[in-house]
Amino acid sequence: MTRPQRSRGTVLVTGATGFVGSALVDRLLGISTLGVRAASRRPGSPRDRAEFITIPDVAAGTDWTTAVAGVDTVIHLAARVHVMRDSARDPVGAFRAVNTAGTVNLARQAARAGVRRLVYVSSVKVNGESTVPGKPFTEECVPRPLDPYGISKHEAELGLREVADETGLEVVVIRPPLVYGPGVKANFASLIRLLRSGVPLPLGAIHNRRSLVGLDNIVDLIVTCASHPAAANQVFLASDGEDLSTTELLRRMAIALGRRAFLIPVPARILEASLTMIGKRSIAQRLCGSLQVDISKARNMLGWTPPHAVDHGLRRVAQDSLSHTTPGERN
């Protein structure tokens, strides 16, 4: 393959065909002064001005030479993502191979190629799994990752810091909580299906507080961090700026769907105990526990405010969900 020529303002996005990556590439293509290079494991669909490069895997030995040549900024989204039932014999090792070793390898090759900045999308799991209501995580909190995914992301951040110190590469770390938007999968998609089914849910009396971030908002923060001078070598938490209880989230999601939410007011302590008894403690934690983040640093240092409210994001999810069903299923 012919090496691309250096052009001022070229951005490389890894994981470009993923949930966040696809939206980010579309946003970057709307900035006329940027060249956009998209790297992913599978070929992407043709898009105006985007150059697609296939990278079969992200590992310690991956060759990024062609991908980083002529690039000014790398936005690294590609990762081994968090999964509920991991079948790997060594989950920590599997996550480290991609998320830690693969990330540090990319950073070192990027620095050698003259890349100015690398924006790394990490995870709030680096901070931990839960917070006390009213006491959100900040960037100054001591990291306490508990699962293999969070551990691998934290170790990647430490590795990137070393690369930055050794090479002068500017590194920006973003730690988002759950990201939702059109095409969202996993637990959020399951809740949407339950709401649309109309079945009663024992989730009408949960008073936790959880931070979420809409797809449009996380993309906006990534774009800001890619260019803002003050972002260099900083860590930022991300959210919509409004924390919701599980009960409130379901009610507002139902409104966006044009449905009525049938929520039974089962006390949270009873729901948690019941789920724990049947081996669903992790689900109980996500439904009943709190996880809040403080985005004051991004507001103050970058002048960044989430451009879209929670209800905007929920409407986008609802429209996408309804567009993928038959008319009979909508009634």
**pLDDT tens-digit profile of 1-49?**
334 444 448 999 999 989 999 999 999 998 878 889 999 887 666 565 6
**Cα dihedral angle (184, 315, 209, 176), rounded to 10 degrees?**
40
What pLDDT band is residue 127 in, cutting at 50, 70 and 90?
very high
Is the pLDDT higher at 322 or at 29? 29
**How is residue 2 annotated by DSSP?**
P
Instruction: Dump pLDDT digits (tens) for 200-220.
Output: 999 999 999 999 999 999 999
Residue 45 CA to residue 281 CA, distance in Å, equals 40
Show which residues are catalytic.
149
Residue 148 CA to residue 142 CA, distance in Å, equals 17
What Rg value do the Cα atoms of the chain yield, rounded? 20
Q: Give the amino acid at 96.
A: R
* 105, two tokens: 């390898």
**pTM across the whole model:** 0.90
Q: What percent of the chain has pLDDT over 70?
A: 91
**How is residue 125 annotated by DSSP?**
G
Element (H, E) at 194: helix 186-197
At residue 280, the pLDDT reads 83
Q: Is the pLDDT of residue 327 over 50?
A: no
What pLDDT band is residue 190 in, cutting at 50, 70 and 90?
confident
At residue 242, the pLDDT reads 95
Q: Is the pLDDT of residue 83 over 80?
A: no
* 10, two tokens: 């070229």
Q: Is the pLDDT of residue 325 over 70?
A: no
What value does the mean pLDDT take over residues 66-83? 90
Phi/psi-derived region of residue 233, left when phi > 0, alpha when psi is between -120 and 50, beta in every other case: left
What value does the mean pLDDT take over residues 265-275? 90
Q: Is the pLDDT of residue 271 over 60?
A: yes
At residue 47, the pLDDT reads 64
At residue 276, the pLDDT reads 87
Q: Which of 288, 301, 115 is nearest to 207 (CA)?
A: 288
Q: Is the pLDDT of residue 326 over 70?
A: no
